[in-house]
Amino acid sequence: MYLLGVLVIALGIAVSIALHEVGHLLPAKKFGVKTTQYMVGFGPTLWSTRRGETEYGLKAVPLGGYVRMIGMFPPRPADGGRLRRATSNPFHQMIEQARQDSLDEVEPGDEDRVFYRLPVWQRLVIMAGGPLMNLAIAAVLVTLLLTVHGIGTLTPTVSQVAACANTDVVDADCAGQDPSPALAAGFQEGDTIVSVDGQAVTSWPETTYAIQNAGDTATFVVERDGSQETLTADLVLRERPLVTPEGEYQLDGAGEPVWGEVGFLGATPTFVYEPQPVSAVPGFVGDMFTQTARIVLTLPQRLVDVSQAAFGSEERDPDGPMSVVGVGRVAGDVASGGLGDLTQTTADRMWVLLSLIASLNMALFVFNLIPLLPLDGGHIAGALWEGLKKGWARLRGLPVPGPVDTAAALPVAYGVAVTLLGMTALLIYADIVKPITLG
């Protein structure tokens, strides 16, 4: 099962990358750009076939992909006819070489099929197509997850009754100890708590909040075998995190849970999956986007935390970034039942893996929108800047400027690429020596 989980997540990542590139390929072909390659992966080519003018293939390292479109970089901007002296600046040489390589791809008759000649809006559609495909994948998977499988929910139906007053364990040795309040009050497995001290409850968070504020003694109305019974429990005070009526932990000013002495019953709720209406999907997807964007925006600090954990004694943040190695490990843990109630059956485990693939696609969507080359967001930012310049020129009655010289940003692109490689290496090392473990 562990291996199956790794294989499922690997396949999910590969399909997500392939569809991301399809998001670029289809509009590029629609707008007439000549696309010479569609590749999933990097490095040596394992397999390829040609259909028309495009070569489709798989490469050895399945950690990305690309669609090669001719004319990604425009020629050097006009400089009034003045000749430029040859330069030994390596960055200038890099830029000029990229421009020349881009022009070399343009064969006779392809002059009007280059990327940089497209209207701004068409370039935006092409470059945004990849990230939007990942967003669509995440939305489809979330829709299936919510409406077909449902969200894991704790209900006020008792699944277990603790044996002792100081433990949640059912079969504990209670020699010399009092029985749990639930056992002493006569609770049985299958009882559904209807009210606590006259306050009606329909969910476990409401029940927990009512027990927390009940005092020393609480009166419960439970439904058992189609009829209602009243049970009175002498609660035991235990140090536990305080909760709100919605079931959320109460947090202090530092964002840490607030602890206090509250009533303990000793009845364990039942975990079930409850399907949700389609109307719940937009809010859920919006929350995924917000949480992912927060991680991306705080990525530098999170990488510092990962470094301190990998090379020191700090613990890994379970909500922090991880590499494909870490994702594979988590997928294996999920498939082998590492999430307890969440993965009771094989079907439950597959649904959790699908939710993990949905989260990965949301991460690809957000990360690729970063406005830096070589990410899609860098090309989008360049097209938007060109559109603003041309719009401003038209408003002022000035000559419309040419395409934005995106080749000039190549030094930044190479710096970003090196940074991404370093980040990947750090995360892989951390996922090996100090992996994130599931609770």
Verify that 334 and 384 share a domain, yes or no: yes
Verify that 321 and 367 share a domain, yes or no: yes
Query: pTM of the entire structure?
Result: 0.83
Verify that 176 and 231 share a domain, yes or no: yes
CB-CB contact of 376 with 368 (8 Å): yes
Verify that 11 and 138 share a domain, yes or no: yes
Domain count, the chain: 2
**119 falls within a domain:** yes
For residue 32, what pLDDT is reported?
Answer: 94
Verify that 268 and 343 share a domain, yes or no: no
For residue 172, what pLDDT is reported?
Answer: 59
For residue 439, what pLDDT is reported?
Answer: 56
Among 274, 308, 336, where does a domain finish?
A: 274
For residue 87, what pLDDT is reported?
Answer: 56
Q: From CA 342, how far away is CA 334, in angstroms rounded?
A: 9
* Paired strand residues for 237: 263
Q: From CA 179, how far away is CA 233, in angstroms rounded?
A: 11
H or E, element range at 304: helix 299-311
Among 220, 247, 274, where does a domain finish?
A: 274
Verify that 285 and 137 share a domain, yes or no: yes
Rg value, the chain, Cα: 29
Verify that 132 and 237 share a domain, yes or no: no
For residue 69, what pLDDT is reported?
Answer: 93
CB-CB contact of 360 with 12 (8 Å): yes
Among 221, 239, 274, where does a domain finish?
A: 274
Residue 21 in tokens: 């590139």
CB-CB contact of 416 with 85 (8 Å): no
Strands 236-241 and 227-234: unpaired
pLDDT under 50: residue ranges of the chain? 80-86
The Cα angle at residue 233 between residues 230 and 236, in degrees rounded to 5: 160
Q: From CA 107, how far away is CA 99, in angstroms rounded?
A: 15
CB-CB contact of 27 with 38 (8 Å): no
DSSP-derived secondary structure letter, 243: B
Verify that 211 and 270 share a domain, yes or no: yes
Verify that 131 and 279 share a domain, yes or no: yes
What pLDDT, in 10s, does the model give residues 205-232? 889 888 888 888 999 999 999 899 999 9
**438 falls within a domain:** yes
Verify that 7 and 109 share a domain, yes or no: yes
**22 falls within a domain:** yes
- Which residues are identified as catalytic? 21
Verify that 375 and 289 share a domain, yes or no: yes
H or E, element range at 43: strand 35-51
Q: From CA 418, how far away is CA 93, in angstroms rounded?
A: 19
Structural domain including 265 reads 153-274
- Residue 190's CATH number: 2.30.42.10
139: left (phi over 0), alpha (psi -120 to 50) or beta: alpha
**53 falls within a domain:** no
